[in-house]
């Protein structure tokens, strides 16, 4: 399996585990972690293309803080915010900090994949383009 | 109850203001009047007092002058010279030339026989031996008589001097013209109604007064009241009028000069001043009363309005607080529900992924399982929608900024509901200001609000009534007022109309969310939605929107 280039951060273990299983099943190399601090450590080690980040994580860093730190470490990393409830202010703040977009839970896998494809496309390199195309193909099959 | 409080406040302010205004005003008026009246009366008294003194001196001078001239003639002429009528007539002419007011002149010898007489009366040869004055002059040498009738049977008084010549005494006697004398006395009067006259020691008139009474009549005046010096006092006159009197005894004759003034007449100027003062005070009081009442009413009315505004703002504040709290709670609930929904959705997705594997495809129940998963997904979606729509937070729920023609929106709404209203015999009237500016907003949302308000109005009226929709604008705001002729609502209901789930409609007729949603929509557009109502007098809902100019395209 290729080097994982997508990181999912969510404190809800069931959600994280299931989402990662489903992505892996679709041959999308994914890493996962349950906290902002852990995410920052992983981001420092691995140049992820896209980070899917939960905003509300009780205890420790929340999604907005994590986003700010990720962008400091690697500006080009695209971040998709994911949350059970986004107030207008939080989402606006996220967008201003450079998040690619934000999605509301519960979310269908297809919608997330579409967003991932768009984010990868934006990174612009040929590798990214082809991976984006692969995801799109997956979506077309279902 | 409430209006009683304002009424009581109003009267309290009015009475207090009037009390503190009137007290000094009346006190000052009274003091000034008293001072002025005192000074005025004092001045009148002084004037009459001074006049009595100076006129008494003038009368004394008159008598002294005539006594002196008579004495000089007697002293410088012999008895023999004087008893010729020719000489006597010349002397009378000289006396009248020098002093005047002499009527006649006579020479009387020591037996009382008048030996010579010049004058208008037939008195030559009369004998005065028995007359009282004869004895007086013979013993004292000089005598001024009271006024009496005498032989001539006309009121007069005499001045007589005695001369001692060659062991014998003779008398030169002159009569003073009572008319001239009366006129001189009368000249002492002051003012139109003033009078001046002389009284002898018995209180008999010695000169003719200007008003009432004649010479030798008894005056209705207690002369014992007058002392040695000039005195002034008030007395009631014969006709009941108040008189101010001043009296001075003459020095050369025990006659009392009396000067009188009619107090009321003299005080007329003072009374006119007093009346003027009363009129000004009354006018002032009236002006103060009117001003105070009007000002206070205006003040209390403004206070009432301010109170109402504060109450409205309080109600809105409470409303905003409630909505904020509700929003916060709903956000928490949404998070708590959406997270498990997300897990459920992923789990069902995972099961579906697994079902696609070869060996499970052969299971007899595979279709049943797939249908169940579909159902789970459908219900997750349903729950998600409920949460999202309750919060109205998704970006697509935010009001969109478009050009809003408020009047057009109102007209469209009226068109939608017109038939429904007509069926219930309800008349919808619009009074739309033609020059409303186009503003930025969400026309669909605004229409939803107006529709909701008009719909509620129709429901409130039931049957037979009217609804009016007015639009107007000032420089910063547009207002839309929806007024109905329905039953109105008490204050307790007004406080709650914008609460979520609050409804007065019977169960199943309304969700109680309409006005709450309307309130939120208008709030998001930067405006306010308020209600004014009185029980039994209908209700008016007012939408106020800020004039936000539309974006340039």
- Residue A92: phi, psi to the nearest 5? -60, -40
Is residue B471 domain-shared with residue B383, that is, in the same domain?
A: no
- This complex has an ipTM of 0.86
Does the beta-carbon distance from B339 to A84 stay under 8 Å?
yes
Q: Is B394 an 8 Å CB contact of chain A?
A: yes
Report the residue of A85, A108, A112 to disrupt the B interface, i.e. the one with the largest count of B CBs within 10 Å: A85
Over residues A34-62, the mean pLDDT reads: 90
| Percent helix, strand and coil across chain A, each to the nearest 5 | 50, 15, 30
The answer as to whether B498 is a domain residue is yes
Distance of CA B178 to the CA centre of its chain: 61
pLDDT tens per residue, range A42-55? 999 988 999 999 98
What's the gap between Cα B58 and its chain centre? 55
Our CA-based measurement puts residue A117 at a distance from the nearest CA of chain B, in whole angstroms, of 19
Task: Please give the pLDDT value at position B90.
Answer: 92
Work out how many domains chain A is built from and give that number. 1
Q: Are strands B426-432 and B465-473 parallel, antiparallel or unpaired?
A: parallel
Instruction: Provide the CATH number for the domain around residue A77.
Output: 3.40.50.2300
Q: How far is B355 from chain A (nearest CA, A)?
A: 12
Pairing status of strand B157-165 against strand B168-176? antiparallel
Domain annotation covers residue B138 = no
CB of B438 within 8 A of CB of B404? yes
Regarding whether B363 and B433 lie in a shared domain, the answer is no
Place of tokens 């420092």: A44
Handedness of CA B316, B318, B324, B327 (dihedral sign): negative
Nearest of B349, B269, B303 to residue B40 by alpha carbon: B269
Which residues of A are less than 8 Å from B335 in CB distance?
A: 56, 83-85
Rounded distance between C-alpha atoms, residue B508 and residue B500, angstroms:
16
Cα B517 vs. chain centroid, distance in angstroms? 55
Chain B residues lying within 8 Å of A108, measured CB to CB: 345, 349
Look at residue A1 and tell me if it is in a domain.
no
Domain with B408 in it: 402-546
Q: Tokens for B82?
A: 């004087």
Place B70 in a pLDDT band, splitting at 50, 70 and 90.
Answer: very high
Is residue B165 situated within a structural domain?
no
Helix (H) or strand (E) holding B169, with range, is strand B168-176
- Last residue of a domain, which of B397, B414, B444? B397
Could you tell me which of B457, B396, B376 has the C-alpha nearest to residue B424? B457
Last residue of a domain, one of B397, B427, B454: B397
Is B417 inside any structural domain?
Answer: yes
Q: How far apart are CA A93 and CA B32, in angstroms?
A: 80
A14: closest chain B residue by CA = B343
pLDDT above 90 for B318: no
Q: Structural domain tally of chain B?
A: 2
Contacts of A83 in chain B (CB under 8 A): 335
Inside any domain, residue A121: no
- Whether residue B438 has pLDDT greater than 50: yes
Asked if B88 and B116 touch (Cβ cutoff 8 Å), the reply is yes
Are residues B439 and B348 both part of a single domain?
A: no
HSE at residue A117, side-chain half, CA atoms within 13 A, is 16
- Domain of residue A83, residue span: 6-108
**B464 & B507 share domain:** yes
B324 and B381 share one domain? yes
Residue B195, classed as helix, strand or coil, is: strand
Instruction: Tell me the CATH number at B392.
Output: 1.10.287.130
d(CA B143, CA B160): 5
Contact B343 A86 (CB under 8 A): no
Count of residues making up chain A: 142
pLDDT in tens, B113-155: 999 999 998 888 889 999 888 999 999 999 999 998 888 888 8
Query: What pLDDT does B174 receive?
Result: 94
% of chain B surpassing 90 pLDDT: 38
In a domain, B61, yes or no: no
DSSP 8-state class, residue B437? P
Question: Both B371 and B454 in a single domain?
Answer: no
Beta carbons of A105 and B342 less than 8 Å apart: yes
As a whole number, the mean pLDDT across chain B is: 86
Complete DSSP assignment for B35-71: HHHHHHHHHHHHHHHHHHHHHHHHHHHHHHHHHHHHH
Residues B291 and B334 placed together within one structural domain of the fold: yes
Are B347 and A18 inside 8 Å of each other by CB?
Answer: yes
Do B378 and B419 share a structural domain? no
Pairwise CA distance, residues A36 & A54, whole Å: 9
Of the pLDDT bands very low, low, confident and very high (cuts 50, 70, 90), residue B399 is very low
Q: Is residue A139 part of a domain?
A: no
- A124 within some domain: no
Say if residue B410 is in the same domain as residue B350.
no
Does A97 contact B at CB distance below 8 Å? no
Residue B245 · residue B234 · CB < 8 Å = yes
- Whether residues B391 and B445 fall in one domain: no
* Residue A45, number of CB atoms within 10 A of its CB: 9
Q: Last residue of some domain: B380, B397, B414? A: B397
CATH of the domain at B446: 3.30.565.10
DSSP classification of residue A12? -
Which pTM value belongs to this model? 0.46
């Amino acid at each position: 399996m290729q080097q994982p280039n997508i990181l999912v951060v969510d404190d809800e273990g069931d959600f994280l585990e299931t989402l990662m299983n489903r992505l892996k099943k679709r041959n999308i190399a994914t890493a996962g972690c349950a906290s902002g601090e852990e995410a920052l450590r992983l981001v420092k080690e691995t140049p992820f293309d896209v980070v899917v980040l939960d905003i509300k994580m009780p205890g420790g860093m929340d999604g907005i803080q994590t986003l700010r730190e990720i962008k400091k470490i690697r500006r080009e990393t695209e971040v998709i915010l994911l949350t059970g409830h986004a107030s207008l202010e939080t989402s606006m703040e996220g967008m201003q900090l450079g998040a690619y977009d934000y999605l509301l839970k519960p979310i269908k896998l297809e919608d997330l994949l579409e967003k991932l494809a768009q984010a990868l496309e934006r990174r612009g390199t040929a590798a990214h383009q082809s991976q984006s195309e692969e995801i799109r193909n997956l979506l077309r099959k279902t | 109850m409430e209006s009683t409080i304002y009424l009581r406040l109003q009267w309290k302010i009015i009475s207090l203001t009037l009390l503190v205004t009137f007290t000094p005003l009346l006190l000052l008026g009274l003091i000034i009047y008293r001072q002025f009246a005192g000074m005025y009366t004092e001045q009148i008294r002084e004037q009459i007092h001074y006049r009595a003194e100076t006129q008494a001196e003038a009368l004394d001078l008159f008598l002294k002058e005539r006594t002196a001239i008579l004495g000089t003639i007697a002293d410088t002429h012999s008895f023999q010279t004087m008893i010729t009528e020719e000489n006597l007539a010349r002397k009378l002419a000289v006396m009248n030339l020098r002093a005047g007011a002499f009527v006649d002149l006579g020479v009387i010898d020591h037996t009382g026989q008048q030996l010579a007489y010049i004058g208008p009366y037939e008195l030559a040869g009369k004998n005065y031996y028995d007359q009282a004055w004869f004895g007086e002059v013979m013993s004292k040498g000089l005598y001024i008589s009271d006024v009496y009738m005498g032989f001539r049977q006309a009121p007069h008084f005499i001045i007589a001097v005695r001369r001692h010549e060659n062991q014998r005494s003779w008398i030169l006697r002159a009569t003073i013209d009572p008319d001239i004398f009366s006129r001189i006395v009368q000249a002492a009067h002051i003012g139109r109604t003033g009078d001046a006259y002389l009284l002898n020691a018995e209180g008999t008139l010695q000169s003719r007064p200007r008003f009432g009474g004649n010479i030798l009549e008894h005056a209705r005046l207690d002369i014992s009241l007058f002392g040695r010096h000039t005195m002034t006092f008030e007395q009631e006159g014969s006709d009941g009028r108040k008189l101010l009197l001043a009296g001075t005894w003459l020095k050369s004759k025990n006659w009392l000069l009396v000067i009188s003034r009619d107090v009321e007449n003299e005080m007329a100027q003072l009374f006119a001043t007093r009346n003027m003062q009363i009129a000004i005070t009354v006018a002032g009081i009236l002006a103060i009363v009117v001003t105070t009442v009007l000002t206070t009413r205006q003040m209390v009315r403004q206070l009432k309005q301010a109170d109402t505004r504060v109450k409205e703002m309080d109600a809105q504040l409470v409303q905003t607080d409630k909505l904020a709290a509700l929003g916060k709670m709903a956000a928490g609930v949404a998070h708590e529900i959406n997270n498990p929904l997300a897990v459920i959705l992923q789990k069902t997705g995972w099961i579906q992924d697994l079902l696609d594997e070869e060996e499970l495809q052969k299971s007899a129940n595979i279709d049943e399982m797939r249908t169940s998963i579909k159902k789970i997904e459908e219900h997750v979606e349903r729950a998600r929608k409920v949460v999202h729509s309750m919060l109205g937070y998704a970006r697509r729920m935010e009001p969109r900024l478009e050009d809003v023609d408020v009047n057009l929106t109102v007209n469209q709404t009226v068109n939608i509901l017109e038939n429904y209203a007509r069926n219930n015999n309800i008349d919808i009237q619009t009074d739309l200001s033609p020059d409303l500016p186009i503003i930025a907003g969400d026309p669909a949302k605004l229409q939803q609000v107006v529709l909701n308000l008009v719909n509620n109005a129709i429901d409130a009226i039931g049957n037979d009534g009217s609804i009016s929709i007015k639009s107007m604008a000032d420089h910063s705001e547009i207002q839309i007022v929806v007024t109905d002729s329905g039953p109105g609502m008490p204050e307790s209901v007004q406080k709650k109309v914008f609460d979520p789930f609050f409804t007065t409609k019977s169960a199943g007729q309304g969700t109680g969310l309409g006005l709450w949603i309307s309130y939120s929509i208008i709030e998001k557009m930067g405006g306010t939605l308020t209600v004014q109502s009185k029980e039994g007098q209908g209700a008016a809902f007012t939408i106020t929107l800020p004039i936000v100019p539309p974006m340039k395209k």
